[in-house]
Structure 1
Amino acid sequence: MSVTPAKSAPERIVLEGRYTRLEPLERHHAADLLAVSTMDGGAERYRWLFSHAPKNLQDMEARIDEANAGSDPAYVAIVDRVSGKALGQQGWMRIRPEHGSIEIGGVYWGLPMARTRLATEALYLFARHAFDDLGYRRFEWKCNDRNEPSKAAATRFGFTFEGVFRQDMIMKGENRDTAWFSILDGEWPALRAEYERWLSPDNFDDAGQQKTRLATR
């Protein structure tokens, strides 16, 4: 059966949501990202990432400069529309428009946005842009197989577990077995409808707590 590639790699554009705004990562986001990275418990969230927690503003700015020196990965800052603060970052990775395949990775959702509708919307905006705007066939999520919270998040978001690449890489001096997950274009319409239902303001009380769970299974 004949298939078509995606239109292009993602461009450096802003993706607007109800609760978040995804902006191309720039130096002016450094202070906000340093603040969430160095708050109590913030550094621990770097455990499974390739980098360690930033030490100071200069360190954070240098990382942003390094990230922007190439095109894959391509990072965005996740901005809370209420506060205007950047509370996290995530990136497009393994960008292969010729195969219609792309990955969300390098995910750092700071404690103020972790396990909230901001995190879910940040994921949703990436998936919607990949499938609906750019025509990708496959949206990937990968993580260290020992990273149980990441694997649980992938399952909650509707990704399908595909298996483990054993001894895939060495990360921070330790072996990493990599767990692979994906969403395919044929699965996306039903998942998109559920994301939009869950993200509706009607699904949250005045304190921002969900009334119903995200039902992707």
Structure 2
Amino acid sequence: MKIAPVVLAGKITRLEPLSETHIPDLAVAGENESIWLNMRYGMVTTREKMRAWVLDMLDRQTRGADLPFVVIHLEEGRAIGATRYLNIEPEARGLEIGGTWYTPEFQRTGVNTECKYLLLKHAFEALECIRVQLKADILNLRSQRSIERLGAIKEGILRNHIIRGDGTYRDSVFYSVLESEWPAVRARLEAMLER
């Protein structure tokens, strides 16, 4: 399993490798504090904080820990959020999809469904993963419902798993999709995207 930057294109979004050129659009997209409430990064609501966040993501990519993507809305022609592969385990042929955020106007639209479809498809069909993991803050019911809607299986809860940006302890709900489940999940997502 060789992870490398790649462009993943859909009908409404394009996932591009994250770069410093995306900072201006992402700074605008990330201005709303509600985006960051359940994230571990704290409030990334200024251009300076977004620059620091992007540089951190790029450093994680350089170290082989993550592969970050910016989400470009094709009709709008601008970055509206970000997502990434993380906890990449080439020997185990597994990875996690996470760190996903979108500006509020594109939440609860087809954007997340398409982005997750593109990432899962690439993971299973190009990278030949045997397991893809997703997780959500136990307090983020919207994120949990979104992951369950994809067809991922809930595996359990890790207590005090992460310290949030505000210093509180976060329990994380873990989900996964296995390679044997991918054909059914793929069909489900494709049907959802056709609506």
- The residue that corresponds to 2:60 in the other structure is 70
- Report the identity percentage: 30
Deviations 1:133-174 (A, max 9, x none): 110011111122122111111111111111111222322311
Amino acid at match of 1:57: R
Structure 1 window deviating more from structure 2 (64-73 vs 76-85): it is: 64-73
Change (3 A) 1:181 1:79: same
SS at match of 1:70: helix
Q: Distance in 1 between matches of 2:175 and 2:182?
A: 14
Matching of residues 92-131 of structure 1 within 5 Å: 92-131=85-124
Structure 1 window deviating more from structure 2 (21-30 vs 171-180): it is: 171-180
SS at match of 2:135: strand
Shift of 1:23: 0.5
- The residue that corresponds to 2:22 in the other structure is 29
Structure 1-normalised TM-score? 0.83
Deviations 1:84-118 (A, max 9, x none): 11001011111002101110111112212211111
- The residue that corresponds to 2:167 in the other structure is 173
Q: Distance in 2 between matches of 1:169 and 1:111?
A: 24
Query: Which of the residues 173, 178, 191 maps onto 1:197?
Result: 191
Bigger share in helix: 2
Aligned length: 191
SS at match of 2:81: strand
Q: Distance in 2 between matches of 1:55 and 1:117?
A: 24
- The residue that corresponds to 2:49 in the other structure is 59
- The residue that corresponds to 2:182 in the other structure is 188
Q: Which structure 1 residue ranges, 5 or more long, are not aligned?
A: 1-6, 204-217
- Is 2:16–2:69's contact at 8 Å kept on the other side of the alignment? yes
- Is 2:30–2:45's contact at 8 Å kept on the other side of the alignment? no
Structure 2-normalised TM-score? 0.92
- Is 2:85–2:95's contact at 8 Å kept on the other side of the alignment? yes
Shift of 1:83: 1.2
Amino acid at match of 1:61: R
Q: Distance in 1 between matches of 2:54 and 2:152?
A: 29
Are 1:158 and 2:151 an aligned pair? Answer: yes
Q: Distance in 1 between matches of 2:45 and 2:171?
A: 28
Q: Distance in 2 between matches of 1:130 and 1:138?
A: 9
Q: Distance in 2 between matches of 1:183 and 1:79?
A: 25
Larger Rg computed on CA atoms: 1
